[in-house]
Structure 1
Amino acid sequence: MLQSKTKWNFSEVQTETPGWDLNNVSPLIKELLIQRGINSSEEAKAFLKPDLSNLHNPENFSDITKATERVHRAIANQEKILIFGDYDADGVSSTTVMLKALKELGADCEFYIPNRFTEGYGPNETAFKEAYQNGYSLIITVDNGISAVHEAAVAKQLGIDLIITDHHEPQEELPAAFAIIHPKCSQDYGFSELAGVGVAFKFAQHLLGYFPEQLLDLVAIGTIADLVPLRDENRILAYFGLKALSSTTRPGLIALKKVCNLNEEVSEEDVGFLIGPRINAVGRLQDADLAVQLLLTEDPFEAEQIADTVQSINQERQKIVSNIVKEADQMVADKDAQGVIVVAKEGWNQGVLGIVASNLVRKYDRPAIVLTELPDTGEVKGSARSIPAFDLFTSCMKIRDVFTHFGGHAQAAGMTLPVENLTRLQDELNSIIHAELSEEDFSQETEISRTIAIPEINEELVNEVKQLAPFGMANPKPVFHINHLPADIRQIGTRKNHLKLQFRDAQRALEGIGFGLGDLYHHISPKTKLSVVGELGINEWNGIRKAQIIIRDMRIDERQVFDHRGKKRFDITPYVHNKKTHLSVYENLPIDNSFLPEKVESITYDSDLSMLQKVNSIYLYELPTDLQTLKDILRRTQPMNVHACFQLRDSIYMKAFPSREDFKWLYAFTAKRKQIDLQRELPMIMDAKGWTKDRVLFMSNVFSDLEFVKINNGIMELNSKPAKRDLAESELYQKYLKHAEIEKLLYYSTYDELKQWIMTCITDGVKPREEATYGL
């Protein structure tokens, strides 16, 4: 058995689909649409064919008319306008969108993005006072500001009008700003999940008085990179934004695509894994102004220079993340992660702590808070990421007094708190999470669209599924389940860290690739059905295109037998999982068992078997002297995985067993001589018959066992009146036969024979068929 790394949730199979008026839509696509909550032809058509005309009217935002009038008045009066942005990809693209719109209107405007390390996230009093001193009378926030209660009061006191455009969770008290444009603060607006750039874009549209398609490439970046739900308005903006990004004429984006090696159509994955992280990297390590300049520049040469710098910054960011992840991981391992993970250390770069937290969440299936210590202020500051079952924002708001600053979403947050509050933070969140969640809730989940057969998978199907793109939050890429016997399994990659499978049936072959799953290679026994889940894609090599499955996770639901027979000092460490029980079995416990992981308990065949309990895995290191003992161990422990690690130093089975004629000859020879000096005459007997020394001594000892002879000091002498007995009556003879039988069954059998015998013992079913044995 191999347990999946995530909990698998299968979508309900739709036996009846609505009578939709949809042409050229397959039953599979209909089923996938229903799984996305689409229940009518109109909704299905809108989803499959996004249309800009279905975007919501920006006039439905509360305060947007008031805000627009204030901006136009500022432009007319030649007032200075400051755009106050944020340092992530959403904030950078929001800043650029607003700047482009205001510049087109002829505004006297500049942008300001706070330094992550010296100022932190969002508006701050010092920046507002500096803006006042520089003559700014209007500040527009993008992608931030909804929690800036104090800063809004400062702006009012200074005589600065503050327009907040944001999408983050509103807290209990809203800032007393001149205007707030926020989908969750606007009851009449039809969609509440816009990204910061989406809100900025709708404000820009209202300011310009027309729909600014030229800004859609920027909107795609912020919308996809900020992981907002790609449904409704976000889906439309991302769909058309990706088309605009693919054909963009913006020099900065052309240069950025070049360093990302993107030459053709840009996908949501390209934004999420290539473009977005590079823009984010700038604000993580330094001022984010450089990223805004990249998006703003009209000079291709300058764009290439900035893009190269951004690429270098991203590479540096990757190294920093790698080092912090190693340190944080060691801290968590030392603590034995329970509940919410909280780690903090002086010197950790604030800008990458969210990435580190995400790494810890993936590894430990626990919410993670990663903080850097600031000795100058006596505070810790950092980021948090959560698991689906735990609303981090709501939970932290219950203990709001722990924090100096706090904000974010259900799954991600940023925070600052006094260092002395760290213990309380951990204890309070642990109390909440253990009260709300069961152990099962801590597992990551994989949502599976449906089980699919290999003949169904082809390039046409892959193209059908692409109709649902762009994929992302609330519109995940469909995940399919396959249960089949693999025809071939290989580790690939320079570090053997990837897994390549091939499935075959009578009609076609299907390849599967599992990136980062190379460690599972050793956990798959021969001739065992695999259940794999993953996304469908196309593998193109040398002009040949084939459908494939990109494997996310796998499991084996049946018991497994692993054949390690004859492998000396076999390392079982890769098989030992801390959450499972493991047992090794010996004839005599090894003096040096340092090769065994600490988690593995050891017994001998002479141990008290009545105390045995069920285990996940059992490792059989030595052959038993009695098969029944091994049967009892297997029956009592009911292992899901059996590892046959048997070793043989001196095989009995492989030696030629003396025949009845051999025994007759030796007995007659002894009777003729009356006695034999084995030490002196053994070589002569060996030469005469071509026997080994062990063979002669074995037959001699059998005669002694049957009292045919007496052996004293190497002299074998015939008994004068031996009782008539069969050779089979000798205990030594029977022990020899029994050991040969055990070797044949457990060591020299085929894999299939060994597996069948072990499975029969575990299930305690029909008594195994008796093996043929040697005899006279």
Structure 2
Amino acid sequence: MLQSKAKWQYRDFHNNEALINELPGVTPVIGELLVQRGITTVEAANQFLSPDIKNLHNPITITSIEKAADRVHQAIASKEKILVFGDYDADGVSSTTVMLKTLEELGADCDYYIPNRFTEGYGPNEAAFRDAHENGYSVIVTVDNGIAAVDEATIAKQLGIDLIITDHHEVQVELPDAYAILHPKCSPDYPFDELAGVGVAFKFAEQLLGYFPKHLLDLVAIGTIADMVPLVDENRIFAYYGLHALTITKNPGIRALKAVCKIEGNVTEEDVGFLIGPRLNAVGRLQDADLAVQLLMTDDPILADEMAIEIQGINVKRQEIVNQIVKEAEQMVQGHPNGVIIVQKAGWNEGVLGIVASKLVRKYDRPAIVLTEKAGTGEVKGSARSIPAFDLFKNCMKVRDFFTHFGGHAQAAGMTLPAENIPIIQESLNEFIHDALTADDFRQVIEINAILKLTDINDNLVDEINRLAPFGMKNPKPNFAIKEIPADARQIGAKKNHLKLLFNEEDVQVEGIGFGMGDLYSYITPHTPLTLVGELGINEWNGKRKAQLVLKDMKIEEWQLHDQRGKKQVEILPYINETIAVLANEIMPAHESAVQISYEVEIEELEKTDVLYIYDLPVDVGLLKQIVQKTEPNNIHACFHIDHSAYLTAFPAREEFIWFYALVRKRKVLNLRQEIQTIMNAKGWTKERIIFISKVFFELGFVKIENGVVHVNPSPDKKDLSESPSYQARVNQIKVEKDLYYSNYEQLKTWFEDCMNRVEIPKEEEINGL
């Protein structure tokens, strides 16, 4: 048996016949997935399956948007200088570009400014505002930031700068005293409050331009998808049409970026989330984000190609830095953390700490705060990521006074704090998390939308599911579970770190691929069903399309036999949270928490165990049966090794015993020390064979042996050869080896199943009538 790494939650099945009947072309699978998403009417289903730009909300309902637009138009008319104050991530960069292109189209005297992550940090700062004032800027428009800039808004007002904030981040206790705040969550009349920063900027651009700026949709798609906002309502429409815009884009910078990412054909949300977004993010993580904005703004294809190649190099360097910090952070964690992870080190690049935190969360299933020291300040700065069950923003706000700066969302945050405050924050967050969560809450959750048979899976089903795309937050790609016995399983990849499975049934062949799941290969045993959960996709190779299951998790619900017989180096599997016992006469290597037992153990004192490693063959199979029945293991590792096999050594025939006994009776006295070689040559016997035969006759009382000299007993009692203990032991050893060592896998598994299911522990035999 094998536990799943994540907690599986199966969605309820709904009767969706009415919806299916009213929607032509909608299959039961799609109908069920729609209902699971809360889409129960024909109108809502049609809007979801065929998003319409006409269903976007009117920007006029965003609070203060008219006031903000009037001020910008006034500035343009009076030739005032306008500064777009952006952010250094993909959402911020795309937001900056949207606003800059809009202002340039309107003829504004404008420029942009993105603070340096390392010297200025996130969001507005006083020095930047004062510098803007000195350079003649009278209007500043923030994009994807500003909602927490309370002090900076006051500075702007003192300087005579009209500050227009467009943002989407969580609203804190106090709002900035800005000229205008454009924020969906500060707009009671606006029907959707989950826009990305670029979505808010796009709405402002639409209000400024007076028409729907379709030519900016490619940029909106980048920021919306990369920032992982819920892909529902307006965001779904933006992503749906924006991906098409990215596919046919004329923007030289985006085209160059697609080329270095090797994106061809239709651009998908995965292309943005895993290729385009990370590269735009990489720039601001290692240096000023200006290069990313310049790439998206340029009209020169040659310059765009050069910048895209430079960004590609920056991304490679970013990956190397992340890998090194993750390695160092994991060494600091040391084992499995009990609460919230907080790690810090001087010299860590603060631009990648969010990525590092995400990797720690995925590995340890714990919220993680990763910090780097700010030289000479006594402060640390970093990023945090959380698990679904723990709202990091709300809980950190409970100890907000211990942070110098703090902001973010439920699952992600950034902060600066005095290093001396780390212990109290650690203690407080650990207290909050243990008060709020159970042990099960720390496990990642995989939501399973349906259970499929292998014969259900084909490329048509995958095409149907893709009608629900683009997938993302609140519209996740559906997960399906299957339970099948693989026809083949193997580790693939240069480091053997991926798992590939093949399933065959009724002329249906489906592959399963588990990226990074190669370690699970060792847990798979022959003829054992695997319960798998994953996403359905298409594997295209040489022009052929084949449906495949992209694995997310695996469990095995039946007891397992792991056949390691004859191996000199036994594989010790890293079971987690299981009880482990080792059955061996000598101390053997195993799991650190393993309990060592031997065949001399008192059976009644044994306790149940999840995993049993068996190294030594028993003298009597009955004893092993009792141990197995009492411990009831879910996993048995047969690790038997034989140096001298009784089964493979020919057992002396009855005629051989007769010949040897006749020789002794004839001689009366037989000195084996002198004549054993003669007998070996004459009969072709081994020395051990002759000694064994002699010992059997000695135990039966037919002969006496003193110092290697055999004397015949002239009047022995009549006994059968099987009455000799050595003879019995040899026969029994042969049976033990035959049943447990030389049997095939199916025979050995059946033997253990008989132990666990049908063998009773025998009652203590009466001895000598007592």
TM-score (norm 2): 0.97
1:18-52 CA distances to partner (integer Å, 9 max, x unpaired)?
Answer: 34521111111000101111111111000000000
Aligned residues of 2:383 and 2:413 also touching (Cα < 8 A): yes
- Distance of 1:613 and 1:103 partners within structure 2: 77
- Distance of 2:724 and 2:237 partners within structure 1: 87
> Are residue 714 (structure 1) and residue 708 (structure 2) matched?
yes
- Distance of 2:590 and 2:442 partners within structure 1: 30
**Equivalent position to 2:733, from 710, 729, 739:** 739
**CA positional deviation for 1:325:** 0.3
- Which residue in 2 is equivalent to 1:565? 565
**CA positional deviation for 1:632:** 2.6
> Are residue 469 (structure 1) and residue 463 (structure 2) matched?
no
- Which residue in 1 is equivalent to 2:169? 168
- Which residue in 1 is equivalent to 2:578? 580
Spell out the pairing of 1:588-667 with structure 2 (5 A cutoff). 589-590=586-587, 593=588, 595-667=589-661
- Which residue in 2 is equivalent to 1:45? 46
Partner AA of 2:202 in structure 1: F
- Distance of 1:301 and 1:463 partners within structure 2: 38
- Which residue in 2 is equivalent to 1:698? 692
Spell out the pairing of 1:398-437 with structure 2 (5 A cutoff). 398-437=398-437
1:347-387 CA distances to partner (integer Å, 9 max, x unpaired)?
Answer: 00000000000000000000000000123110010000000
Aligned residues of 2:462 and 2:538 also touching (Cα < 8 A): yes
- Distance of 1:379 and 1:608 partners within structure 2: 61
Cα gap change, 1:4 to 1:125, in 2 (>3 Å): same
- Which residue in 1 is equivalent to 2:745? 751
Aligned residues of 1:138 and 1:161 also touching (Cα < 8 A): yes
> Are residue 548 (structure 1) and residue 542 (structure 2) matched?
no
- Which residue in 2 is equivalent to 1:148? 149
- Which residue in 2 is equivalent to 1:502? 502
Aligned residues of 1:512 and 1:549 also touching (Cα < 8 A): yes
- Distance of 2:531 and 2:759 partners within structure 1: 27
- Distance of 2:619 and 2:5 partners within structure 1: 39
- Distance of 1:265 and 1:569 partners within structure 2: 50
- Distance of 2:380 and 2:714 partners within structure 1: 96
- Distance of 1:99 and 1:465 partners within structure 2: 38
**CA positional deviation for 1:767:** 8.7
Aligned residues of 1:576 and 1:599 also touching (Cα < 8 A): no
Give the unaligned 5+ runs of structure 1: 769-776
Cα gap change, 1:333 to 1:108, in 2 (>3 Å): same
**CA positional deviation for 1:228:** 0.3
- Which residue in 2 is equivalent to 1:184? 185
Aligned residues of 2:626 and 2:761 also touching (Cα < 8 A): no
- Which residue in 1 is equivalent to 2:199? 198
Q: Which moved more, 1:355-364 or 1:548-557?
A: 548-557
Q: Secondary structure at the match of 1:12?
A: coil
1:141-186 CA distances to partner (integer Å, 9 max, x unpaired)?
Answer: 1000111111111111111111110000001111111111101111
- Distance of 1:173 and 1:405 partners within structure 2: 14
- Distance of 1:23 and 1:61 partners within structure 2: 37
Aligned residues of 2:534 and 2:551 also touching (Cα < 8 A): yes
- Distance of 1:628 and 1:745 partners within structure 2: 12
**CA positional deviation for 1:683:** 2.0
Aligned residues of 2:19 and 2:31 also touching (Cα < 8 A): no
**CA positional deviation for 1:549:** 1.2
1:480-515 CA distances to partner (integer Å, 9 max, x unpaired)?
Answer: 111111111111111111111111112311111111
Aligned residues of 1:55 and 1:233 also touching (Cα < 8 A): yes
- Distance of 1:556 and 1:75 partners within structure 2: 67
Partner AA of 1:760 in structure 2: D
Q: Secondary structure at the match of 2:689?
A: helix
Partner AA of 2:70 in structure 1: E
Spell out the pairing of 1:392-403 with structure 2 (5 A cutoff). 392-403=392-403
Cα gap change, 1:495 to 1:176, in 2 (>3 Å): same
- Distance of 2:63 and 2:606 partners within structure 1: 69
Spell out the pairing of 1:292-307 with structure 2 (5 A cutoff). 292-307=293-308
- Distance of 1:416 and 1:635 partners within structure 2: 58
Aligned residues of 1:760 and 1:767 also touching (Cα < 8 A): no
- Which residue in 1 is equivalent to 2:377? 377
- Distance of 1:547 and 1:763 partners within structure 2: 40
Aligned residues of 1:578 and 1:599 also touching (Cα < 8 A): no
> Are residue 478 (structure 1) and residue 516 (structure 2) matched?
no
Q: Secondary structure at the match of 1:527?
A: coil
> Are residue 159 (structure 1) and residue 168 (structure 2) matched?
no
Q: Secondary structure at the match of 2:334?
A: helix
- Distance of 1:19 and 1:490 partners within structure 2: 43
- Distance of 2:759 and 2:234 partners within structure 1: 61
Percent sequence identity over aligned pairs? 60
- Distance of 1:270 and 1:599 partners within structure 2: 45
**CA positional deviation for 1:615:** 2.2
Q: Secondary structure at the match of 2:487?
A: strand
- Distance of 1:505 and 1:54 partners within structure 2: 45
Q: Which moved more, 1:759-768 or 1:696-705?
A: 759-768
**CA positional deviation for 1:609:** 4.2
Aligned residues of 1:635 and 1:764 also touching (Cα < 8 A): no
Q: Secondary structure at the match of 1:265?
A: coil
- Between Structure 1 and Structure 2, how many residues are aligned? 761
> Are residue 30 (structure 1) and residue 31 (structure 2) matched?
yes
Q: Secondary structure at the match of 2:88?
A: coil
> Are residue 678 (structure 1) and residue 664 (structure 2) matched?
no
1:259-287 CA distances to partner (integer Å, 9 max, x unpaired)?
Answer: 10112111000000000000000000000
- Distance of 1:106 and 1:394 partners within structure 2: 43
- Which residue in 2 is equivalent to 1:218? 219
**CA positional deviation for 1:65:** 0.9
- Which residue in 2 is equivalent to 1:773? none
Aligned residues of 1:63 and 1:180 also touching (Cα < 8 A): yes
- Which residue in 2 is equivalent to 1:525? 525
Spell out the pairing of 1:93-172 with structure 2 (5 A cutoff). 93-172=94-173
**CA positional deviation for 1:607:** 3.3
Aligned residues of 2:563 and 2:638 also touching (Cα < 8 A): yes
> Are residue 313 (structure 1) and residue 314 (structure 2) matched?
yes
- Distance of 1:378 and 1:475 partners within structure 2: 43
> Are residue 83 (structure 1) and residue 84 (structure 2) matched?
yes
- Which residue in 2 is equivalent to 1:774? none
- Distance of 1:547 and 1:432 partners within structure 2: 45
- Distance of 1:632 and 1:136 partners within structure 2: 86
TM-score (norm 1): 0.96
- Distance of 1:543 and 1:39 partners within structure 2: 38
**CA positional deviation for 1:668:** 1.4
Cα gap change, 1:46 to 1:16, in 2 (>3 Å): closer
Aligned residues of 1:490 and 1:500 also touching (Cα < 8 A): yes
Aligned residues of 2:16 and 2:32 also touching (Cα < 8 A): no
- Distance of 1:69 and 1:200 partners within structure 2: 16
- Which residue in 2 is equivalent to 1:771? none
- Distance of 1:98 and 1:718 partners within structure 2: 112
**CA positional deviation for 1:766:** 6.6
**CA positional deviation for 1:562:** 0.7
1:494-550 CA distances to partner (integer Å, 9 max, x unpaired)?
Answer: 111111111111231111111111111111001100111111111111122211111
**CA positional deviation for 1:478:** 1.1
Give the unaligned 5+ runs of structure 2: 763-770
Partner AA of 1:705 in structure 2: E
- Distance of 1:713 and 1:600 partners within structure 2: 46
Aligned residues of 2:387 and 2:444 also touching (Cα < 8 A): yes
- Distance of 2:84 and 2:543 partners within structure 1: 49
